[in-house]
Amino acid sequence: MTDKTPSIHGEWSSRFAFILAATGSAVGLGNIWKFPYITGQNGGGAFVMVYLICVAAIGIPIMIAEIMLGRRGRQSPINTMQTLAAEARVDPRWGYLGLMGMIAGFLILAYYSVIAGWAMAYIFKAFFGGFFGTDGNEVKEIFDNLMASPIQQIFWHTVFIFITMQVVIRGVKGGLEKAVRFLMPALFVILIVLVAYAMASGYYAQGIHFLFSPDFSKITADAVLTAMGHAFFTLSLGMGAIMVYGSYLPGHVSIAKTTFFIAGADTAVALLAGIAIFPLVFANQLEVATGPGLIFQTLPLAFGHMSGGWLFGVLFFVLLFFAALTSSISLIEPTVAWLVENKNIDRQKACAWSGTACWGLGVAVVFSFNIWSDFKIFDKNLFELLDYLTANLMLPLGGLCIAVFAGWMMKQAHAEQELELPAQGFQAWQFLIKYVAPAAVFIVFLHVLGVL
Ligand code: PHE
Ligand code: NA
């Protein structure tokens, strides 16, 4: 089936196009916005180490599995899983894995879009010179003002969802390849500029120390869960985004090599962001555990003081917006592909429906930063709740199921044939996907539940 039946939604023009799209999906707010602030909240080095181990031992094997399942099934995640379950003669309810992923992507996009909206608002603040000569207090005030304004946030959230849906309507190929092609190198360059600025801040060593010297006394079961959940989130795993992109992948592409590239680029961007941000946190006596506002309260200080800061500031937030966009389209693509396949509606309508629903939930997320900030369930506001539910629970659970399916349900001869790895490589993957990844997720879940 691999070569003969291309996906009805179109195919990537080449292996390179897939790499670009999947890297675009992976590299996003998760790397630049989320990684630094959760690292700050969870004590630094030990958390980073657990995250890196999870990327290597769980994330990479599961990404290989998810791409492989997508390429073999060639449809939206729900239908792919049903097709593959039939092929493997196992319970058709494996299709629910696709459904859970679809819901997860939808819930993530609702808040992802709000944060992307902050980045858009910051493009204009940078453009109009808002950061020039600011100190820590002024930068905090700028951010707090944005948080206090539902109108501003809803405006940008609306613009962001609208642009996302415009791209998705055009389908998987149009525009996307080009956007990512210039985005990644540009993002690297600007992060290196920021790292250079951080090196000159006098607090570089402190930042590096915070990020890379592990103090395991700071680690709790919940921190481990957050680190593991973030490995899934940052690699776009466990919800079908990478699966649906894999379904547009022509045969005879080395899935493993592709995965190493994507995971490497994603990790590099996250670490560079951390290295750029933490020296600034210490140089300006800011709180490491500031939370979701961290990059918005640190990087503007750099832009406000470095030479060329106006240009770099505008560019940085433009690039952050594009990085968020190439991720957001992959969050909603599983839903759109499924609506087109099963509800017999065209892409345009599918986008209109799913985009509107996501927008509505996003408005509620905006309120969780201001007028509803005291409304808490399990001591979490709506934003925190959605984040926890998706990144810490749904994605690892989805990843666990993907690992079990690829390692235990599917005929291993089929996996071998799809992956085309040298024997040792295949055995290593099999070991990780059958034992290591499922056991790790399971054990972390049990710890958080307090059972272990
Ligand atoms: N990987 C993206 C990021 O780091 C977020 C994402 C999660 C995208 C899940 C798609 C699916 O920003
Ligand atoms: Na990422």
Distance 48 CA to ligand 2 centre (A): 14
Biggest CA–CA distance in the chain, Å, is 65
Distance 4 CA to ligand 2 centre (A): 32
Residue 249 confidence class, pLDDT cut points 50, 70, 90 = confident
Q: Would you state the structure tokens that stand for residue 184, as one six-digit string?
A: 């990644």
Q: Is the pLDDT of residue 197 over 70?
A: yes
**Binding-site residues, ligand 1, Cβ < 6 A:** 25-26, 28-31, 105, 108, 233-234, 236, 239, 241, 327, 330-331
pLDDT of residue 342: 87
Q: Are 395 and 55 in contact (CB under 8 A)?
A: no
Domains of the chain, residue spans: 15-449
Mean of pLDDT over the chain: 92
Q: Would you state the structure tokens that stand for residue 368, as one six-digit string?
A: 């969780």
pLDDT of residue 176: 67
Distance 230 CA to ligand 1 centre (A): 9
Task: Find the ligand nearest to 330 CA.
Answer: 1
pLDDT of residue 129: 92
207-223 burial string, b = 16+ CB within 10 Å, else e?
Answer: bbebbeebeeeebeeeb
Distance 333 CA to ligand 1 centre (A): 12
pLDDT of residue 8: 78
pLDDT of residue 174: 64
Tens-digit pLDDT profile for residues 361-404: 999 999 999 999 999 999 999 999 999 999 999 999 999 999 99
CA–CA dist 341, 440 (Å, integer): 35
pLDDT of residue 173: 65
| Closest to 265 (Cα-Cα) out of 23, 10, 3, 17 | 23
Q: Which atom of ligand 1 is nearest to the CA of 266?
A: 4
CA–CA dist 376, 394 (Å, integer): 20
Q: Would you state the structure tokens that stand for residue 444, as one six-digit string?
A: 């972390």
Span 8-36, mean pLDDT?
Answer: 88
Handedness of CA 412, 418, 420, 425 (dihedral sign): negative
Single-letter amino acid, residue 183? L
Pocket test for ligand 1, best of 239, 322, 330 (most atoms within 8 A of CB): 330
Q: Which atom of ligand 1 is nearest to the CA of 29?
A: 12
Distance 344 CA to ligand 2 centre (A): 32
Half-sphere exposure for 450 (CA within 13 Å, toward CB): 0
CA–CA dist 61, 25 (Å, integer): 18
pLDDT of residue 2: 43
Residue 11 confidence class, pLDDT cut points 50, 70, 90 = confident
Task: Find the ligand nearest to 28 CA.
Answer: 1
Pocket test for ligand 1, best of 23, 25, 358 (most atoms within 8 A of CB): 25
Distance 236 CA to ligand 2 centre (A): 7
Residue with the nearest Cα to atom 6 of ligand 1? 236
Residue with the nearest Cα to atom 10 of ligand 1? 236
Tens-digit pLDDT profile for residues 147-188: 999 999 999 999 999 999 998 888 766 666 767 777 888 888
Q: Is the pLDDT of residue 10 over 80?
A: no
Distance 1 CA to ligand 2 centre (A): 31
SS (H, E, C) the chain: CCCCCCCCCCCCCCHHHHHHHHHHHHCCHHHHHHHHHHHHHCCCHHHHHHHHHHHHHHHHHHHHHHHHHHHHHCCCHHHHHHHHHHHCCCCHHHHHHHHHHHHHHHHHHHHHHHHHHHHHHHHHHHHCCCCCCCCHHHHHHHHHHHHHCHHHHHHHHHHHHHHHHHHHHCCCCCCHHHHHHHHHHHHHHHHHHHHHHHHCCCCHHHHHHHHHCCCHHHCCHHHHHHHHHHHHHHCCCCCCHHHHHHCCCCCCCCHHHHHHHHHHHHHHHHHHHHHHHHHHHHHCCCCCCCCCCHHHHHHHHHHHHCCCHHHHHHHHHHHHHHHHHHHHHHHHHHHHHHHHHHCCCCHHHHHHHHHHHHHHHHHHHHHHCCCCCCCCECCECHHHHHHHHHHHHHHHHHHHHHHHHHHHHCCHHHHHHHHCCCHHHHHHHHHHHHHHHHHHHHHHHHHHHCCC
Q: Which atom of ligand 1 is nearest to the CA of 31?
A: 4
Pocket test for ligand 1, best of 66, 118, 233, 243 (most atoms within 8 A of CB): 233
Task: Find the ligand nearest to 25 CA.
Answer: 1
Span 238-245, mean pLDDT?
Answer: 92
Q: Is the pLDDT of residue 223 over 90?
A: yes
CA–CA dist 36, 277 (Å, integer): 7
Tens-digit pLDDT profile for residues 81-136: 999 999 999 999 999 999 999 999 999 999 999 999 999 999 999 999 999 999 99
Distance 237 CA to ligand 1 centre (A): 8
Tens-digit pLDDT profile for residues 287-305: 999 999 999 999 999 999 9
Task: Find the ligand nearest to 324 CA.
Answer: 1
CA–CA dist 55, 39 (Å, integer): 15
Of the candidate CATH numbers 2.40.50, 1.20.1740, 1.10.4040, 1.10.287, the domain formed by 15-449 belongs to: 1.20.1740
**Who's near 197: CB < 8 A, 6+ residues apart?**
276, 302, 306
How far separated are the first and last CA of the chain, in Å rounded?
44
The pTM assigned to this predicted structure is: 0.94
Q: Which atom of ligand 1 is nearest to the CA of 331?
A: 10
Single-letter amino acid, residue 247? S
CA–CA dist 166, 328 (Å, integer): 12
- ipTM over cut 0.90: yes
Q: Is the pLDDT of residue 194 over 50?
A: yes
Q: Are 334 and 109 in contact (CB under 8 A)?
A: no
Task: Find the ligand nearest to 233 CA.
Answer: 1
Half-sphere exposure for 173 (CA within 13 Å, toward CB): 13
In terms of residues, how long is the chain? 452
Residue 235 confidence class, pLDDT cut points 50, 70, 90 = very high
